[in-house]
Amino acid sequence: MSEEQLILDLPHRTALGAEDFLVSDCNLGAVRLIDSWPNWAERTQLLIGPAASGKTHLVRVWQALSGAEVVFPETLDIAFLDAIGEGAALGVEDVDRLGYDERALFHLLNAAKEKQLFVLLTARDAPSEFALPDLRSRLNALPAIRIGAPDDALLKTVMLKQFADRQLSVDPKVLDFLALHVDRSLAAASLAVEAVDRAALASGRKITRQLAARALSVAGPEDEPGAS
């Protein structure tokens, strides 16, 4: 299979700028959620997916569609929410990781109902570590769309693009090998490309299956594609 065929096997979604969002079975539900705005059954939605799975990319696509304001822990407070107008749209990323004030998050969920806000929250996993029981309950009751582990086609296409970004040519057989030997995540795929690139630079040799295997075998714990 040629590099061109590998790219064309997956549909592309244009995001902000010239970037493409690659659509596959693992993220199709999330893409459909974005596409269906503003006809959401519930105005507040939770998008769950691992690191590097495209959550931020999709939030930016939704921001372009809806005119949403993306907020952060330092800007999301009760005064900010009190000033939000009816029907506004807000994106709130990594609610389980970025240290948001729990009272502000709870107030956000209340304001979303009172002011008919559209709210798109993202997290790496279902929120469960919050101290406020009412906040945990409300977050876990939200409709949630999960981005799953990438399939082979998506892994290979992402790695092909990253090699191309580095101006490296790679045989499809190398991509087949890497897809079989990295953890099932886009973050792991990116680390694998970095490891192979370093090995190619160090050896001055073209990228082959053997070089890729050696690169993965000598990667340190912090560089291992399967490391968390």
Tell me: do 110 and 160 sit in the same domain: no
Tens digits of residue pLDDT in 76-108: 999 999 999 999 999 999 998 888 999 999 999
From the number of C-beta atoms within 10 Å of its C-beta (0-12, 13-18, 19+), residue 104 rates as buried
What is the CATH classification number for the domain harbouring 39? 3.40.50.300
Q: Where among 102, 119, 146 does a domain terminate? A: 146
pLDDT of residue 155: 92
In a domain, 226, yes or no: no
Domain that holds residue 63: 27-146
Tens digits of residue pLDDT in 153-208: 999 999 998 999 899 999 999 999 999 999 988 889 999 999 999 999 999 999 99
Tell me: do 44 and 80 sit in the same domain: yes
pLDDT, the chain, mean: 87
| Residue 16 confidence (pLDDT) above 80 | no
To the question of pTM greater than 0.95 for the whole model, the response is no
Q: What is the largest CA-CA distance in the chain?
A: 62
Tell me: do 31 and 141 sit in the same domain: yes
What is the CATH classification number for the domain harbouring 179? 1.10.8.60
Asked whether 182 and 189 are in contact (CB, 8 A), the reply is yes
| Residue 123 confidence (pLDDT) above 80 | yes
Residue 223 is given by DSSP the state: T
